[in-house]
Amino acid sequence: MTDPLPCWNDGAAKQAILDFVAQVTTSHSSTFVPPNHRIATFDNDGTLWCEYPMYVQAFFVFDRIKALAPQYPEWSDQELFASVLKGDVKSALAGGEHALVELVMATHAGMTTDEFTAIVRDWLATAKHPTTQKLFTEMVYRPMLELLDYLRANDFKTFIVSGGGVEFMRPWAEQVYGIPPEQVIGSSIKTRFEMRDRQPVIVRLPELLFFDDKEGKPAAIQHYIGRRPIAAFGNSDGDLQMLQWTSAGTGASLGLIVRHTDCDREFAYDKSAMGSLEKALVEAPQQDWVVVDMQHDWNRIFA
């Protein structure tokens, strides 16, 4: 038979995936799961594509601040925005998620959803990773693309459940991952229906609606999907609660953590500017979650 996961080296991680899929798809077995219950949720940053040295959306935010700066001269006197304009990424990110949210509000609001989609698509068409000089859409993990295809070939419905902005991911997720917009769940800002020039539009407002990270992920899964996943994939403590929620269901389940261990082909770290892998790594053996060692478990990393 053709290997469905050729970029995965033979070993415990790959075998766990194959065994799990066989368990839930073998009819008349005690572990069989009907296709309409085969839900798999994936974190995005650091799980499906590169997140180091910072989230791709953070690069987008910083570029938007530079592009919009002439319209907002007061930014040069505001420490957070001034740090971005001076290229001082460390200081700009020192405030963590709250600082990033403030920057997002300033750069992602005040336009229609269609206008924002066009800006995201135009930016991704040319934006490159500062170290590899590859397009960000080329910094996608080939083994995870194989996994998505393998699950869908076995009647799984695959969802993105990410702390990233939902409207930032939707314009390209289907082309890159094969995941349609309606199966992308992420953080969002409030919107409002308006008539502009006699045309109906949805306008983005500078107010956070929902932050889809940590405890927010299981809540979002329940709200938007309405079924508990039987498989969940992440790479940091921001995914811990999603993995816990998935494992707490009855019947077979699969929890998998992508651990960044390859400093030659990607990056080696358990802590980045926006998150860390500590609690989930401790809990993994207790929950029988699969921990993928990128250096040893993947024979190829990027698509």
Q: 48-107, pLDDT tens digit by residue?
A: 999 999 999 999 999 999 999 999 999 999 999 999 999 998 888 887 777 888 899 999
Contact, 254 vs 231, CB < 8 A?
yes
* Residue 98 pLDDT: 78
| Number of Cβ atoms within 10 Å of the Cβ of 226 | 8
| pLDDT of residue 7 exceeding 90 | yes
Percent of the chain scoring above 70 in pLDDT: 100
Query: How far from the centroid of its chain's Cα atoms is residue 144's Cα?
Result: 12
* Residue 42 pLDDT: 99
* Residue 158 pLDDT: 98
Which residue carries 């892998």 as its tokens?
A: 277
Contact, 153 vs 4, CB < 8 A?
yes
pLDDT grade, residue 299 (50/70/90)?
very high
Q: 96-151, pLDDT tens digit by residue?
A: 777 888 899 999 999 999 999 999 999 999 999 999 999 999 999 999 999 999 99
Enumerate the H helices of the chain as residue ranges. Answer: 12-25, 56-68, 79-85, 89-92, 96-108, 113-124, 142-153, 166-177, 216-224, 240-247, 279-287, 294-297
* Residue 94 pLDDT: 83
How far is the C-alpha of 47 from the C-alpha of 53, rounded, in Å? 14
Q: 229-253, pLDDT tens digit by residue?
A: 999 999 999 999 999 999 999 999 9
Which domains can be identified in the chain, with CATH numbers? 12-51+139-297 (3.40.50.1000), 56-124 (no CATH)
Helix, strand, coil abundance in the chain, percent, nearest 5: 45, 20, 30
Side chain identity, residue 96: G
The rounded mean pLDDT for the chain is: 96
Q: 20-51, pLDDT tens digit by residue?
A: 999 999 999 999 999 999 999 999 999 999 99
Mean pLDDT of 255-282: 95
* Residue 101 pLDDT: 84
How far is the C-alpha of 250 from the C-alpha of 253, rounded, in Å? 8
Q: H or E element: which one contains 42? A: strand 39-42
**Encoded tokens for 27:** 């009819």
| Of the candidates 104, 25, 14, the residue with the CA atom closest to the CA atom of residue 58 | 104
